[in-house]
């Protein structure tokens, strides 16, 4: 018989892509207001893997990733996705988004994105949201899966998430030390 255990806290990681890189400052300020301090930020990554967003957001898209200092409960991700959807609306121009915000969480063994879109490999997590198992950690590195978005399988993204994983492990050790003090 399996015995339920409490899941480990997770590292909140949020990606933002936009055709207007100057928007990152006010968007990041709002994200910090909602989720606390950022402790790791990626370089800008070209987002040119698909034309799906061109009608809404235009061309010349760039993505920046942010990892947050405060660890989260894994089951908080559905509410976080709703909050980031609201932030997208704040920065929209009419019906068109000017930023796309993708929240997810990282654990030692996986990286999961939150989405409102169902698909065969996504698990319903409540409140109209699904968990997308995006990457798994095996043999010392994050590995993509057949459905992983190409931008999340790219070397620059994998290198950034590897750094986030290292910071996450340090965060867990620090939390354990505080627990025993």
* CATH code, domain carrying 168: 3.30.70.260
* Nearest alpha-carbon partner for 108 in 5, 8, 36, 4: 8
- Residue 112 included in any domain: yes
Total of domains in the chain: 1
Residue 2: inside a domain:
no
Question: Is 3 part of a structural domain of the chain?
Answer: no
Tokens (6 digits) for 139 = 């043999």
**34 pLDDT above the threshold of 70:** yes
Q: What is the CA radius of gyration of the chain?
A: 16
Cα–Cα distance for residue pair 48/4, rounded to 1 Å: 42
Domain coverage including residue 159: 10-180
User: For position 175, what pLDDT does the model report?
Assistant: 78
pLDDT band for 22, please (50, 70, 90 cuts): very high
Q: What is the per-residue pLDDT for 178?
A: 65
Distance CA 149, CA 50 (A): 10
Query: Residue 147, Cβ neighbours under 10 Å: how many?
Result: 12
Reference 104, options 96, 95, 113; nearest CA is: 113
| pTM across the whole model | 0.95
**Within a domain: 1:** no
* Residue 4: inside a domain: no
């Amino acid at each position: 018989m399996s015995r339920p255990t409490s899941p480990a806290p997770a590292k909140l990681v949020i990606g933002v892509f936009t055709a207007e890189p100057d928007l990152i400052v006010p968007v990041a300020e709002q994200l910090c207001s909602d989720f606390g301090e950022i402790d790791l930020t990626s370089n800008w990554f070209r987002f040119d893997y698909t034309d799906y967003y061109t009608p809404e957001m235009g061309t010349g898209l760039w993505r920046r990733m942010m990892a947050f200092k405060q660890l989260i409960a894994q089951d908080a991700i559905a509410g976080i996705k709703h909050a980031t959807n609201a932030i997208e609306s704040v920065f929209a121009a009419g019906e068109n988004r000017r930023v796309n915000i993708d929240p997810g969480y990282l654990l030692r063994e996986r990286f999961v994105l939150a989405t409102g879109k169902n698909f065969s490999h996504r698990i319903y997590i409540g409140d109209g949201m699904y968990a997308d198992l995006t990457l798994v950690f095996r043999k010392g590195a994050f590995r993509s899966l057949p459905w992983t978005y190409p931008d999340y399988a790219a070397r620059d993204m994998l290198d950034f998430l590897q750094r986030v994983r290292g910071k996450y492990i340090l965060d867990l050790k620090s939390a354990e030390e505080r627990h025993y003090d």
